Amino acid sequence: MAGFDLALAHDIYRSLFGQRDVAAALEGKRNWIIIPQGSLLSLPFAALVREAPAVATATRPGDLRAAAWLGTTRSLTILPSVEALASLRDRAAPRDTRLAYLGIGAAEFSGPPAPLRGLPATARADARSRLAAVRQLPRLPGTFDEIARLLAVFPPGQGRSVTGVEASETGLAKLAAEGTLGDSAIVHFATHGLLAGALDGLDEPALALTPPAGNEPRALAGGMLDDGLLTSSEIARLRLNADWVILSACNTAAGDRPDAEGLSGLTRAFFYAGARSLLVTHWEVRDDVAARLITDTVRAASFGMTRADALRIAMRRMIADTSQDDTALPLAHPALWAPFQFIGPPG
């Protein structure tokens, strides 16, 4: 098993939350709202350890399960500022007639199946070659299963899935035109997430969708370009009324600069488009893990839990699973469950 430095995770926790006055104020508080600044926005708070660990470095799954993880003992909500809490809470109340769930993903790519929802840096210089690069992205079988499982959480008629060739920017434009995109309570994207610079000429983060047929990108209404890359600037032009946007892809919380100062372009864009809260990821996520953890989180939230609490419960369930203890990276390892983070007002 890949070792994990529990002592360091505890030291960081003590530096941030262990001072006497801070610890006293947090005593007995189960629901935390954290407003990190600067490089702390890139910190996966769930992977901090609240109590001194029995061993400094975890080398067995049991060591990981014994740790007092902040993400499984407290429900964590991340906000960019105090002002953001007020502004997101004050947004217009949604209509009761909204579609409960809209799942978009399982896009059609031609590459072989891959375990991670991300892309290594690739040399592609112009829009046409970027389109070809998107077409050759690895397939993600777990995204189809993930959307199907989430669709089953909701009563018939209250959810809709858009997959395969329809999971494209053209398909997204159709959803926007018919009002479905702007009238869904939960909007869920399950696909590859690309950082700025992942492709030459891609100067902003993006979500990968099914690219158009042929060798030319297609111009769409509203200034969008169907090239298989839903960029942050295109996202900002959307009009959402979503309580929750779930970005089940790699690096969707990652900052635009190496020091991660500020929220990611994707996060800012979805808030600007009208989302009230988001579920994002700090680094590359495994296809099968994302499908399971996202499904468990949404299912728990459907029973009335806050979304932050639902994520905490989903993490606990994954850590408790011993079925992959004999692998190099058991399910209890924070590399698998800790990248997921809830951003937005609690409730």
Same domain, 255 and 141: yes
The predicted pLDDT at position 95 comes to 58
Q: How many structural domains is the chain composed of?
A: 2
Q: Look at residue 34 and tell me if it is in a domain.
A: yes
Give the separation between CA 157 and CA 307, rounded to whole angstroms.
23
CB atoms within 10 A of CB 286: 21
Full pLDDT tens readout for the chain, 347 residues: 878 999 999 999 999 999 999 999 999 999 999 998 877 888 999 999 999 999 999 999 999 999 999 999 999 999 877 776 666 666 655 656 589 999 999 999 988 888 888 765 444 445 557 788 888 889 999 999 999 999 999 999 999 999 999 999 999 999 999 999 999 999 999 999 988 887 777 888 899 999 998 877 888 877 788 999 999 999 999 999 999 999 998 877 765 543 333 456 888 899 999 999 999 998 889 999 999 999 999 999 999 999 999 999 999 999 999 999 999 999 999 999 999 999 988 76
Q: Look at residue 135 and tell me if it is in a domain.
A: yes
Q: At how many degrees (to 10) do helices 287-302 and 141-153 cross?
A: 10
The partner residues of 111 in beta bridges, in order of sequence, read: 138
Same domain, 76 and 122: no
- Domain housing 10: 1-91+305-347
Same domain, 42 and 84: yes
The predicted pLDDT at position 261 comes to 37
Same domain, 141 and 243: yes
Burial class (CB in 10 A: 0-12, 13-18, 19+), 81: exposed
Give the separation between CA 234 and CA 181, rounded to whole angstroms.
14
Same domain, 122 and 22: no
Same domain, 78 and 118: no
The predicted pLDDT at position 283 comes to 85
Same domain, 123 and 239: yes
Q: Look at residue 300 and tell me if it is in a domain.
A: no
pTM of the model: 0.91
The predicted pLDDT at position 52 comes to 97
Q: How far is CA 2 from CA 63, 266, 281, 326, in A?
A: 12, 31, 21, 11
